[in-house]
Copies of this chain bind each other. A is one copy, B any other.
Amino acid sequence: MKLYTFPAAPSPRRVHLFLAEKGLDLEQQIIDLRSGEHLVSEHLAGHPQRTVPTLELDDGTLLTESVAICRYLEERQPEPALLGTNPVERARITDADHWIEMHGLLAVMDAFRNHVRGMKDRALPGTRPVAQIPELAKRGLQRYHWFLDDFNQRLDGQAYAAGDRFSVADITALVTVDFAHSAIKIGLPEDAQAINQWYQRVCKRPAILKANSAD
């Protein structure tokens, strides 16, 4: 199998941190999103949106969604478990991961892609031109602040995004928070104690430290 990726972008970073936590090393090919390589690369010809990360399996299947790539990698190498170890835990992790993606990551994406000059006519990932909507950038900012409030509340009384164990949901949240910081210049609110403690806890993990220093 082979991973087509561009590690600096947030969705690929979800997969890269997942690989780092697993200690997995995959064959990778960088697709330079900045130069538009994804629009012409023949490796992505079977994938209409031409987004990365895309994982090509040995039978030729292309997985284009980060959640599906992580699920497949978890089955290939179950330890350490990042998607849970029993039915309730697996459900809680899927729940938290999807909630963080929809309310956090998508909010930051709306705020970023509908605002910065470099994303003109690229307000959505994919090959088709999509005009920016300034009001949607504003709404994204508002939603991200709501997400931070809600996530802080969710973390009150539990160490990690889905409970007492680190999981893929923490990776999605970390990618969201870091991307908000770098792309739309929103940090963590100082008075949001639970989320600040969570952030310190997650950033101290050896795999995250190592992956961050390699960036």
Contacts and interface: CB of A to CB of B under 8 A. Distances in A.
- Shortest Cβ-Cβ A-B pairs, 9 listed: A68-B95, A72-B91, A75-B87, A68-B94, A65-B98, A133-B135, A65-B95, A48-B150, A63-B95
B75 A91 contact: yes
A42 interface: no
A172 to B, nearest CB: 13
Contact of A136 (B63, B69, B102, B133): B133
A98 B65 CA distance: 7
22 contacts: A48-B150, A48-B154, A57-B88, A59-B88, A63-B91, A64-B99, A65-B94, A65-B98, A67-B95, A67-B98, A68-B94, A68-B95, A69-B91, A72-B91, A75-B87, A75-B91, A128-B146, A130-B139, A131-B139, A133-B139, A135-B136, A136-B136
A90 B150 CA distance: 31
Contacts of A22: none
A92 B136 contact: no
Copies in the complex: 2
Taking residues whose C-beta sits less than 8 angstroms from the other chain, chain A's interface range is: 35 or more
A150 B75 CA distance: 28
A211 to B, nearest CB: 23
A59 B92 CA distance: 12
A71 interface: yes
